[in-house]
């Protein structure tokens, strides 16, 4: 399988890299320190045709595939993982869920709101007692005539504090476990819906991560995505794409940490010569860049598989491998970068400490490493 990019994708990478360096990078430390969602950057990415590029062309988007989305996400993540998370969550929760399961009427209603009304969406799956174990979610959706009454709490929802609609997964038939989960679009002004506490996370700050609370929230039947009981199938398909985008974010932050620490080491004089002249430091950089390039290969291979719909039975395994390996590499590389800078790396005068905190988050979200290993092993045993 070729991992080459076409001319349009190469131009996109150069364009996003330039705008990320000029407009996003200078704001990264401020976003982290203030933990405030950067609405102005969301508007900027929207104006540049980046934020909503996954929206189908007939609605005003670019209809971009996963490979193209990965290119944009990687370059944004090099500047700010928080901003890249905004892009990823809008893409998955606001757009790809609708593309995968929405009716034509639902698409005609929501996609124009995303493009013309500048609305944000997000994915609402995780609960206090149900993270990776989706089948154990407690949020209930009970039919009441032409409506569903939804009760429960979601947590750790990125963009939860700024989104206008939510791709919600809730149990409609508790006895059926996986096949008892259904998907809904819940609008922010829904009676019975409220936003809970703002999470004070270690990294990836400024993503408006909150709780979502549903107390007899009344959602019309027309807002259900797909038939009842199809929610688990929908969320699994979405997770495959989300994990690839999260993996490419990991590559972006790892590459950024590598570049910063490498440039620092070339200028840092120790024992009368630059750090890069010490063989031990050279070996560290050799390992770091090898891991980054290896991770990049598996991520883009998986993205190509999704776009081409080739070997669909292997996509969950490759998505899990991409997420597991890339986030592990990001954690290792950012930690090495902090150590290479020594005491300076442990201060907020340099961005590598923020990158290390950010990297830990993506190692956990959308299923931590042990969950990814479990998916990989089960896929191998099944085949």
Residue after which a domain boundary falls, among 52, 83, 115: 115
Q: pLDDT tens, 360-376?
A: 999 998 889 999 999 99
Q: pLDDT tens, 171-201?
A: 999 888 888 999 999 999 999 999 999 999 9
Give the chain's mean pLDDT: 95
Across 124-129, average pLDDT: 91
One domain for residues 95 and 81: yes
One domain for residues 146 and 286: no
pLDDT above 90: residue 311: no
One domain for residues 80 and 140: no
186: in domain? yes
Q: What global pTM score does this model have? A: 0.94
pLDDT > 70 in the chain, percent: 99
Among all chains, which residue has been given the structure tokens 């609960």? 127
Please report the pLDDT score of residue 105 as a whole number.
Answer: 95
2: in domain? no
Q: Answer yes or no: 309 catalytic.
A: no
One domain for residues 193 and 243: no
Q: What's the number of domains the chain is made of? A: 3
One domain for residues 153 and 268: no
63: in domain? yes
More confident residue, 75 or 312: 75
- Assigned token pair, 47: 């104006």
Across 65-92, average pLDDT: 97
For residue 218, give every residue at least 6 positions away whose Cβ sits within 8 Å of its Cβ, in sequence order, or none.
144, 147, 148, 149, 150, 190, 191, 192
48: in domain? yes
Q: Residues 164, 199, 211, 366: which is the catalytic one? A: 366
Across 296-323, average pLDDT: 95
Please report the pLDDT score of residue 133 as a whole number.
Answer: 76
Residue after which a domain boundary falls, among 95, 115, 135: 115
1: in domain? no
Please report the pLDDT score of residue 258 as a whole number.
Answer: 98
One domain for residues 218 and 85: no
Range of the domain at 43: 7-115
Please report the pLDDT score of residue 146 as a whole number.
Answer: 94
Residue after which a domain boundary falls, among 204, 229, 254: 229
Among all chains, which residue has been given the structure tokens 């609305």? 119
One domain for residues 138 and 207: yes
Across 138-161, average pLDDT: 96
pLDDT above 70: residue 148: yes
One domain for residues 266 and 364: yes
One domain for residues 253 and 366: yes
pLDDT above 70: residue 1: no
175: in domain? yes
Q: What is the CATH number of the domain that holds 84?
A: 1.10.540.10
One domain for residues 133 and 109: no
Please report the pLDDT score of residue 176 as a whole number.
Answer: 85
Please report the pLDDT score of residue 310 as a whole number.
Answer: 82
One domain for residues 330 and 248: yes
How many Cβ atoms are within 10 Å of 26's Cβ, its own excluded?
Answer: 11
């Amino acid at each position: 399988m070729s991992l080459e990019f076409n001319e349009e994708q190469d131009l996109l990478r150069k364009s996003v890299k330039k705008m990320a360096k000029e407009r996003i990078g200078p704001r990264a430390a401020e976003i982290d320190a203030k933990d405030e969602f950067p609405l102005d950057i969301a508007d900027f990415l929207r104006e540049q045709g980046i934020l909503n590029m996954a929206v189908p062309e007939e609605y005003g988007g670019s209809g971009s595939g996963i490979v193209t989305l990965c290119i944009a996400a990687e370059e944004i993540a090099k500047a700010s993982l928080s901003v890249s998370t905004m892009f990823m969550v809008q893409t998955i929760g606001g757009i790809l869920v609708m593309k995968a399961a929405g009716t034509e009427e639902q698409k005609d209603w929501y996609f124009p709101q995303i493009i013309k009304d500048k609305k944000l969406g997000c994915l609402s799956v995780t609960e206090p007692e149900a993270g990776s174990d989706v089948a154990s979610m407690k949020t209930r959706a009970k039919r009441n005539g032409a409506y569903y009454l939804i009760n429960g709490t979601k947590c750790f929802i990125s963009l939860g504090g700024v989104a206008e609609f939510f791709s919600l997964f809730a149990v409609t038939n508790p006895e059926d476990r996986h096949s008892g989960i259904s998907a809904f679009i819940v609008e922010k002004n829904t009676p019975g819906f409220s936003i809970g506490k703002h999470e004070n996370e270690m990294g990836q700050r400024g993503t408006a991560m909150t709780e979502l609370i549903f107390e007899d929230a009344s959602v019309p039947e027309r807002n259900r995505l797909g038939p009842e009981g199809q929610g688990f199938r929908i969320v699994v398909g979405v997770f495959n794409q989300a994990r690839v985008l999260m993996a490419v974010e990991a590559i972006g932050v790892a590459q950024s940490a590598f570049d910063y620490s490498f440039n620092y080491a070339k200028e840092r004089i120790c024992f009368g010569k630059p750090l890069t002249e010490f063989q031990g430091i050279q070996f560290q950089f050799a390992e770091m860049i090898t891991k980054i390039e290896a991770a990049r290969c598996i991520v883009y291979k998986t993205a190509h598989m999704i776009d081409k719909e080739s070997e669909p039975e292997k996509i969950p395994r490759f998505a899990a491998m991409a997420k597991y390996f890339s986030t592990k590499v990001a954690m290792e590389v950012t930690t090495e970068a902090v150590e290479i800078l020594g005491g300076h790396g442990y201060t907020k005068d340099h961005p590598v400490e923020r990158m290390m905190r950010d990297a830990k988050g993506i190692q956990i979200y959308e299923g931590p490493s042990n969950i990814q290993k479990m998916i990989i092993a089960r896929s191998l045993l099944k085949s």
